[in-house]
Amino acid sequence: MRAGRLRHRVAFNRQATVPDGYGNVTGEFAPLFTVWGNVRETTGKERVAAGSVENTRTATIRIRASSQSNGLTEADQAVARGETWNIRGIAQADDKGAMLDLLVEAGGAQ
């Protein structure tokens, strides 16, 4: 993929783990790193969750593989185009392992 196709700034956040004293872990999301990527939004969908309609939007974010991006997990978040996206899946986008595709979702439950 040519560099011109990676036209969106994508920031990644990870939730800090702070024990709350009751056996639960809480914490705010803190910045990890920012890279150039390509955000391709797919068609929206609606689903019924607990008796109410829940609107969700999905997208694929393509970024270059690096030591930082290879450490991403599905518990992390991506922030692109002014919106926070929950990472739902991570896959290699090519045979060389040079690019990663992140399946992300916005508008649904965390």
pLDDT at 49: 59
pLDDT one digit per residue (tens) for the chain, 110 residues: 455 589 999 999 999 888 888 888 788 999 999 999 999 998 656 565 566 666 788 999 999 999 999 999 999 999 999 999 999 999 999 889 899 999 999 976 55
The tokens for 63 are 């970024």
Taking the C-alpha atoms of residue 53 and residue 11, their distance in angstroms, rounded to an integer, is 29
Taking the C-alpha atoms of residue 58 and residue 51, their distance in angstroms, rounded to an integer, is 21
pLDDT at 109: 59
pLDDT at 17: 84
Could you tell me which residues come within 8 angstroms of residue 97 by beta carbon, excluding any fewer than 6 positions away?
65
The CATH superfamily holding the domain 3-106 is: Bacteriophage SPP1 head-tail adaptor protein (2.40.10.270)
**Chain-centre distance for alpha carbon 66:** 16
pLDDT at 16: 87
